[in-house]
Amino acid sequence: MKNKKIIVTLLAAACIVLAIVYTAMNTGGGHPGTPPGAGEKSASTNSAENASSRGKVPGGEEGGEDGSLALRSAGKTTNGERRGDLAAKPPLQSPSTGVGSNLAKVGVYAVQTASYKASVKGYGEVQPVDSLSLVAQVGGRITILADEFKTGAIVSKNTTLAIIDDTDYLAALSSARADYEDALVALEEERLQGVQAQDEWRRSGLKGEPASALVLRQPQLKAAQAKVEKAKQALEAAKRDLAFTKVTAPFDALIVSRDVSPGSYVQTGEVVATLYSLNTAEIAVALSPAQWSQLPDVTAGEQLDWPVILTDATTQQHWIAEVSRAELHQDTSTRQRNAVVTVNKPLEQAEPLAFGSFVSAEIEGRALENVWKIPASAVSQKQEVWLVEPDTGLLQKFTPDVLFEQDGFAFITPYNNANRALVVARPLNSYLVNTAVAPLIEGVTGGAEND
């Protein structure tokens, strides 16, 4: 029994010694005879082997759950630390500030508020001041057509274009003249009879006035005078009808159409030709209320002289003209009203301005203050403008108030009354608000463009 107690005590002492030795080895004490630092090297080797047996960490470095500790001890950076470094970088301050290579590059215009002369653009068709459907004022057969009576020809005022057979009208004139002469004779006879009647009344010795005016033939005299007047008017009508057998141009004109031929018969009121006056051309340019607000104020009856540049939509030819008047009523269907542009002697210009041409009219307007000048391409199909915030490099958008357009630029009201901005020159439909981009300046407008 006593021996058993001794054996148990020895075994317990041996276990205690083994535990102390094991603990000393794990804490760097090492085995007896191990050089200093050998245990530390062994622990590092074991840790690396464990990491190798578990796999590799992202980025191509070996490691595992504890691999990040080994990477830190070796001086390497984990994904988490890379993200932290990017987040710690200062935000974009200006287009010249360096940006990350992974940001999309966007072309922008550096715009600044400035004063601009408004320009209003409209469209219209060149029309003559006077367009006439020339009609026959008497009926008959066409006997003669003038050589210049052709479409496209220019004729002077009172030029005879066609002659209608005048035989019947000469006969009517002769008859009217005879009736007129007869009326004059009858009037003279009645006047003499009246003088005789008054003479007979005085010689009769009767006192007072006759019981009837017929006694002195006063009504008969008035009737004879009326017949003379009637015959005179008939004679004038016969002369006029005879003159109307010659169809003439009432003004200097361009012949647009000819509707008769030699030998054709025309009725009174039938169209013979269509004529355009040559002296002045007009273009009615329809403008919206917003466009009218960019032009100087107009008072009723005021004669205007606003400069205008006309451009042919097909040939791109230019003409100088002016707005001569403004219509003060709106079209009920379009809710627009016209500015009337006039061109003197349009066919005598260096490049003739043909009637019927469709032209654009660029009208000089009033001066506008605090306006942004941006490329017309900056206004997207959705009628939006995109900006790059200079402090953050993030995209923003707004719907602009376009005041007018000119030479490939749109002039708009500034966003939030800002003086400066970076406006995206060519926005894409795929853009999203608050997307970080790298702005590249392609142009400058406003105050800076004049420096």
Angle made by CA atoms 176, 179, 185, in degrees to the nearest 5: 145
* Out of 64-68, 95-99, 105-109, 215-219, least confident range: 64-68
- Is pLDDT larger for residue 409 or for residue 36? 409
Which of 19-23, 271-275, 329-333, 417-421 has the largest mean confidence? 271-275
- Give the C-alpha separation, 286 to 334, whole Å: 9
What is the mean predicted confidence (pLDDT) over 211-229? 86
Distance between CA atoms of 349 and 319, rounded to whole angstroms?
8
Is the per-residue pLDDT at 383 higher than 80? yes
pLDDT-based confidence at residue 298 (cuts at 50, 70, 90) = confident
- Tell me, what's the pLDDT at 72? 35
Strand partners, 105: 438
165 has a pLDDT exceeding 90: yes
Of the two residues 407 and 323, the one the predictor is more confident about is 323
pLDDT over 90, % of the chain? 55
**What does the alpha-carbon distance between residue 441 and residue 413 come to, in Å, rounded to a whole number?**
21
Q: Where in the chain are the domains?
A: 2-85, 104-119+367-450, 122-128+279-365, 131-275
Residue range 288-299: average pLDDT?
A: 87
For the 131-275 domain, the top CATH level (class) is mainly beta
pLDDT value at residue 31: 42
Give the pairing of strands 358-375 and 409-412.
antiparallel
On the question of a common fold for 122-128+279-365 and 131-275, the answer reads no
Average pLDDT of every residue of the chain: 81
Is CATH 2.40.30.170 the classification given to domain 122-128+279-365? yes
Which pLDDT tens digit goes with each residue over 16-25?
877 776 776 6
Local structure of 88: helix, strand or coil: helix
Predicted local distance difference test score (pLDDT) of residue 9: 76
Q: Report the pLDDT averaged over residues 328-354.
A: 92
Instruction: Give the pLDDT confidence score for residue 24 in this predicted structure.
Output: 65
143 C-beta neighbours (distance < 10 Å), count: 14
> Domain 104-119+367-450 adopts which CATH fold?
2.40.420
List pLDDT tens digits, range 70-119. 323 333 333 333 333 323 333 333 444 444 458 889 999 999 999 988 88
Pairing mode, if any, of strands 395-398 and 271-277?
Answer: unpaired
Mean local confidence (pLDDT), 381-404:
92
Greater pLDDT, 16 or 426: 426
Least confident of 80-89, 165-174, 214-223: 80-89
Q: What is the mean pLDDT of residues 202-224?
A: 80
| Confidence band for 228, pLDDT divided at 50, 70 and 90 | very high
pLDDT of 209 reads: 76
Residue 364 in tokens:
């000089």
pLDDT for residue 3? 65
Burial of 383 (0-12, 13-18, 19+ CB in 10 A): exposed
* ∠ CA 99-92-386, rounded to 5°: 100
Say whether pLDDT at 152 is over 80. yes
Q: What is the pLDDT of residue 338?
A: 94
Percent of the chain with pLDDT over 70: 80
CA 313/CA 354 separation, integer angstroms = 12
